[in-house]
């Protein structure tokens, strides 16, 4: 991997910073949406909204696709968008938005492991230290309760970790299995393929319609989730897939270096409290990610 600070890598670095700002804000938007909607409703609405924004573009990108592309794009959409949207929403029903953003920092380490195990990517021994430290930070963060003591396992942190595994798999999948399509095609067609599933589920299997008609504040929460779908799912995924194309999977997933900073700042603005255990876990995760990515 080339040094991300080289002039040739400035476009990638710029994309990295923009993505961190967008995705770091997504956790507070989810928090606002969950004030009215359930986790299932939020996840489905987020995907449906993102799909609606990019649907016209997806139609224009169908020409030239081969039959084999559809299965891969559907798989990418499920791994990188659909399933994580539900997992993050579920996790945030019991976790502070800032803590959810911190746990998301595991993505680069998991990207490394998935790349080694399933995509035959080279593995540097020094990365083991980073992985161990990062996982230790995750344990500390999950065990840190609202009083700042390291006691009481918060099972909902596991949903964030599982979402990160799906993200990590998708990063490698795009980089090594969808090499012949541009980022905009991957994003728009993937969303077009998974969008109908989310819409059918939202309208047919949840109380979304009733809440929109009768729940006070439903339209405000709806606006937050639609913004989440447009900004943090559709547009950010376009930028993310572009970053995958011009950089390495590890550098791409290192957007999570900066996401916790943005998420924590939004959490503090919103009145959330972080304690020693949270900062210790965050520090260990970021240190682990740095060591896992650092060149020898």
CA distance 43 to 296: 40
Positive or negative: CA dihedral 232, 197, 84, 115: negative
Percent of the chain with pLDDT over 90: 42
Q: pLDDT for 140-159, tens place per residue?
A: 766 665 444 444 557 888 89
Rg value, the chain, Cα = 19
CB hemisphere CA count around 129 (13 angstroms): 10
Specify the pTM: 0.81
CA distance 267 to 138: 19
Q: Is the pLDDT of residue 252 over 80?
A: no
Q: Is the pLDDT of residue 236 over 60?
A: yes
What pLDDT is attached to residue 293? 63
CA distance 61 to 63: 5
What confidence tier does 12 reach under pLDDT thresholds 50, 70, 90?
confident
Calculate mean pLDDT across residues 237-250.
76
Are 27 and 236 spatial neighbours (Cβ–Cβ below 8 Å)? no
Percent of the chain with pLDDT over 70: 85
Q: pLDDT for 49-107, tens place per residue?
A: 999 999 999 999 998 899 999 999 999 999 999 999 999 999 999 888 877 887 887 78
Q: Where are the domains of the chain?
A: 13-293
């Amino acid at each position: 991997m080339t040094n991300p600070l080289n002039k040739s890598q400035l476009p990638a670095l710029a994309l990295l910073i923009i993505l961190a700002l967008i995705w770091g804000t997504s956790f507070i938007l989810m928090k606002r949406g969950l004030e009215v909607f359930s986790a299932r409703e939020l996840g489905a609405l987020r995907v449906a909204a993102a799909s609606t924004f990019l649907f016209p573009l997806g139609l224009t990108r169908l020409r030239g696709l081969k039959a084999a592309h559809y299965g891969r794009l559907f798989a990418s959409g499920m791994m990188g968008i659909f399933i994580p949207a539900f997992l993050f929403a579920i996790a945030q029903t019991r976790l502070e938005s800032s803590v959810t953003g911190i746990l998301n920092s595991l993505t680069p380490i998991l990207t490394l492991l998935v790349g080694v195990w399933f995509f035959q990517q080279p593995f540097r021994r020094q990365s083991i230290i980073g992985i161990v430290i990062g996982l230790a930070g995750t344990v500390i963060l999950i065990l840190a309760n609202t009083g700042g003591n390291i006691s009481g396992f918060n099972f909902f942190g596991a949903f964030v970790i599982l979402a990160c595994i799906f993200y990590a798999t998708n990063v490698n999948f795009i980089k090594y299995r969808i090499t012949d399509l541009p980022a905009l095609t991957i994003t728009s067609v993937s969303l077009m393929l998974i969008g109908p599933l989310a819409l059918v589920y939202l309208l047919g299997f949840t109380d979304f319609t009733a809440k929109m008609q009768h729940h006070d504040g439903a339209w405000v929460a709806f606006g937050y989730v639609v913004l989440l779908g447009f900004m943090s799912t559709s547009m950010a995924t376009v930028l993310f897939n572009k970053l995958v194309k011009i950089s390495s999977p590890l550098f791409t997933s290192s957007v999570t270096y900066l996401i916790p900073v943005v998420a924590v700042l939004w959490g503090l603005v919103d009145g959330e409290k972080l304690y020693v255990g949270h900062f210790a876990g965050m520090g260990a995760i970021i240190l682990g990610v740095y060591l896992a990515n650092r060149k020898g």
